[in-house]
Structure 1
Amino acid sequence: MGEQPIFSTRAHVFQIDPSTKKNWVPTSKHAVTVSYFFDSTRHVYRIISLEGSKAIINSTISPNMTFTKTSQKFGQWADSRANTVYGLGFSSESHLVKFAEKFAEFKEAARLAKEKSHEKTELTSTSSQGAGVRGNMAPVKRGKKKDSAPGETLQAPLTPETVNGTNEDRVSPETQHVETRAEPPQSVLPFSHSSPSVSKHWEAELAALKGNNAKLTAALLESTANVKQWKQQLAAYQEEAERLHKRVTELECVSGQTTAIKSQKTELNKTIEELELALKDKEEELERLKTEVESTNVFHCQKDSLIQKLQDTEDRNQALEAQLSELEQRLESTQIEREAFRKSLRSLLQLLDTKIFELTELRDTLAKLNENS
């Protein structure tokens, strides 16, 4: 059924600078999908990577290719047909090792397929020579078919001296970029001398809404990225469906309504039905994402309303704080006045006690004078 993906991974893609043959030039802005494809019609393996609708890697694996690991997360290989050297920067060493293992496996498979092709070619040539007049025909040259371009020298792996910097510097800074979105800082509005029940209630609701908003934003970004990938897959599915329809028509015209053609048509129809079901699932997923976006907008509106309420509460708290400060000043002045009044009262009491004591002495003196007289 044509070319099918058999292994996929994600990596940052680079090509060697054609002018200097030393520096790496990034061909992808971020990590993209890199896949191995097998063409069952021609029995060839290819490495293909797309960024949008642009093919940034289209390399056919040949038996004389070599994949070289130049660091823990970076590997490269030379393609003489494309006259360039490709480099891949992976997020981890395990991804690099897995990709290298698949490269060696498919390289060996390509070598076996090429040998079988040579054997078939030699058998065909031998039978053709036996059927014709051997005296008038030149002998067939047997040997390996050279399919490499003049730029085969690019196939040699780049040494650390040919690439600028150390092993860690070979990978562009873009390969080390982690595509994450930082959540906005959740600032907490200050509440001093405020009502605990009101401020804590609105603060808790705001924190919960901010958390939900951050989660929905992250989910929305991830869903948007998935939607782009799904659109590409849907376009590929549609192209595959059209190709399958054309293939069914060709088979019906060439071979007629035979049992084999009918079975192939049944399989193709099943494949088309599966693709249509996948398309329907993707459309339902898009509808679900739209609903989530609408709910996110509702949360944004609620967030703005709560922020306004918190601002109003803060304003009321500031007014209450001003009134409290004024009352404290008045209380302090009242206390000072009462303390002064108490001091005055004490002094009057002391003076009164002194006068009473003097009057008592005077009375006693007068009483004694009265008794003596």
Structure 2
Amino acid sequence: MGEQPIFSTRAHVFQIDPTTKKNWVPTSKHAVTVSYFFDSTRNVYRIISLDGSKAIINSTITPNMTFTKTSQKFGQWADSRANTVYGLGFSSESNLVKFADKFAEFKEAARLAKEKSQEKMELSSTPSQTGAAQTNMLSVNKPGKNKESAPGDLLSPVTPESINGTSEEKVTPDTPQHSEARAEPSQNALPYSHSINKHWEAELAALKGNNAKLTAALLESTANVKQWKQQLAAYQEEAERLHKRVTELECVSGQTTVIKSQKTELNQTIEELKFALRSKEEELEKLKAEVESAHEFESQKNTLTHKLQEAETKSQTLEAQLGDLEQHLESSQQESEAFRKSLRSLLELLDTKIFELTELRDTLAKLIEGSS
């Protein structure tokens, strides 16, 4: 039958940067088909993905591999044979879960197949009565034949930036709406008080939006820190176990060639674990810096809130002063109207007196003329 696909899905494919060992490098411009293949002749499971005619994933599943879900839509595994770490960005969490379940299933099948092959080799290496059988036993048990093909898989460091680079997870916190009700001032006070309030309200709204984003990032970072701490503890335990294993192998003097090769592989694994530990420590330092910046933004928000309260207090004071001025203006207008009425009455009285004096003058003039 040969090699046949048994499960397929679509995902964005990444590989760890071979230079920095920290950042992800996309190997496909868009989502491609990623398939599990089973070779019935060799009893081997493989993960294969093609971008056109180019094979961007060709990874044989071994019992010591581990597929790790680093976020809701991103997972990774290390392939020591290919000397790289593969990453897959899925369109949904359900696709990631299905792929991880299949990985665990085929990993277990690979382990069982390996145990069966070892049992067959042990049975074929049983000593017989003939010298030819003894020769075959020596050739089967020759050092290096049944050696593990790949050391323990490693988890590569994954930064939030690199995870977000899959374009599958981008957190956009809702911007809080400023909905405080304010009393409507009179038309004369509106331009000044509204300009002050709008300025501070805009700054407070922007600051609340930034604070919401930082809070969401801080919660996500806290969850990642817990996961990374667990991974760091696992790395440390693995490193201690490997050191003990190296010590035990050095004490064995019968299989020098096998010991040297295993020691070299274990030392390489230890170096990779140390590098992963350093990467995680750098990530922790970055998260601490983000937390400090979040505290600074919080203090800035408190300062602006205090300034806004002062501005509202000044606005209320100005509104009160404006009300007093309006009352004073109204009373002044009433006094002015009363004064105008008094002037009109005086003018009317003066006109009457002038008319009477005019008649009196005319009468006196006529009397003077008559007497002359």
Q: Calculate the TM-score normalised by the size of structure 1.
A: 0.53
CA deviations over 1:170-199 (Å, ceiling 9, x no partner): xxxxxxxxx998776655585854556755
| One-letter identity of the residue aligned with 2:225 | V
The worse-fitting range, judged by mean Cα deviation, of 320-329 and 99-108 is 99-108
Q: 1:173-188 residue pairs with structure 2 within 5 A? A: 186=178
Distance in 1 of aligned mates of 2:282 and 2:111: 43
User: Offset at 1:335?
Assistant: 0.7
Partner of 2:324: 326
Distance in 2 of aligned mates of 1:36 and 1:202: 50
Contact kept, 8 Å, 2:249 with 2:259, in 1: the verdict is: yes
1:275 paired residue among 273, 276, 280: 273
**Does structure 1 residue 212 correspond to structure 2 residue 214?**
no
Distance in 1 of aligned mates of 2:227 and 2:193: 51
Distance in 2 of aligned mates of 1:273 and 1:95: 33
Q: 1:64-143 residue pairs with structure 2 within 5 A? A: 94-97=92-95, 99-100=97-98, 103=101
Distance in 1 of aligned mates of 2:114 and 2:307: 78
| One-letter identity of the residue aligned with 1:308 | H
Partner of 2:313: 315
Q: 1:253-272 residue pairs with structure 2 within 5 A? A: 253-254=251-252, 258-272=256-270
Partner of 2:221: 223
Contact kept, 8 Å, 1:213 with 1:296, in 2: the verdict is: yes
The worse-fitting range, judged by mean Cα deviation, of 118-127 and 193-202 is 118-127
**Does structure 1 residue 294 correspond to structure 2 residue 292?**
yes
How many residue pairs match? The answer is 255
Which segments of 5 or more consecutive residues in structure 1 lack a partner in the other structure? 12-30, 39-91, 132-178
CA deviations over 1:301-327 (Å, ceiling 9, x no partner): 333333233323332332232222112
Three-state SS of the structure 2 residue aligned to 1:220 is helix
Distance 1:369 1:181, change over 3 A: closer
Distance in 2 of aligned mates of 1:288 and 1:198: 38
Partner of 1:338: 336
Partner of 1:77: none
Distance in 2 of aligned mates of 1:270 and 1:127: 32
Three-state SS of the structure 1 residue aligned to 2:65 is strand
| One-letter identity of the residue aligned with 2:64 | E
Distance in 2 of aligned mates of 1:111 and 1:284: 37
1:241 paired residue among 223, 239, 242: 239
Distance 1:93 1:309, change over 3 A: closer
The worse-fitting range, judged by mean Cα deviation, of 182-191 and 258-267 is 182-191
Partner of 2:304: 306
Distance 1:205 1:116, change over 3 A: closer
The worse-fitting range, judged by mean Cα deviation, of 217-226 and 198-207 is 198-207
Partner of 1:354: 352
Contact kept, 8 Å, 2:239 with 2:270, in 1: the verdict is: yes
Distance in 1 of aligned mates of 2:106 and 2:350: 123
1:6 paired residue among 67, 83, 88: 67
Distance in 1 of aligned mates of 2:272 and 2:118: 37
Contact kept, 8 Å, 2:63 with 2:111, in 1: the verdict is: no
CA deviations over 1:193-235 (Å, ceiling 9, x no partner): 4556755554444344333322322222121111001001111
Contact kept, 8 Å, 1:3 with 1:37, in 2: the verdict is: no
Distance in 2 of aligned mates of 1:256 and 1:122: 24
| One-letter identity of the residue aligned with 1:252 | E
Contact kept, 8 Å, 2:173 with 2:213, in 1: the verdict is: no
The worse-fitting range, judged by mean Cα deviation, of 116-125 and 291-300 is 116-125
Distance in 2 of aligned mates of 1:265 and 1:127: 26
Distance 1:190 1:295, change over 3 A: farther
**Does structure 1 residue 250 correspond to structure 2 residue 263?**
no
Contact kept, 8 Å, 2:176 with 2:205, in 1: the verdict is: no
Distance in 2 of aligned mates of 1:292 and 1:260: 48
Three-state SS of the structure 1 residue aligned to 2:67 is strand
Contact kept, 8 Å, 1:234 with 1:279, in 2: the verdict is: yes
Distance 1:293 1:4, change over 3 A: same
CA deviations over 1:255-286 (Å, ceiling 9, x no partner): 55734432332222122122112212222322
| One-letter identity of the residue aligned with 1:220 | L
Three-state SS of the structure 1 residue aligned to 2:66 is strand
Distance in 2 of aligned mates of 1:324 and 1:208: 31
| One-letter identity of the residue aligned with 1:350 | E
CA deviations over 1:41-89 (Å, ceiling 9, x no partner): xxxxxxxxxxxxxxxxxxxxxxxxxxxxxxxxxxxxxxxxxxxxxxxxx
Distance in 2 of aligned mates of 1:359 and 1:260: 145
Distance in 2 of aligned mates of 1:279 and 1:109: 26
Distance in 2 of aligned mates of 1:299 and 1:115: 57
User: Offset at 1:337?
Assistant: 0.8
Identity %: 60
Distance in 2 of aligned mates of 1:309 and 1:93: 45
| One-letter identity of the residue aligned with 1:354 | T
| One-letter identity of the residue aligned with 2:340 | R
RMSD in angstroms over aligned alpha carbons? Answer: 4.5
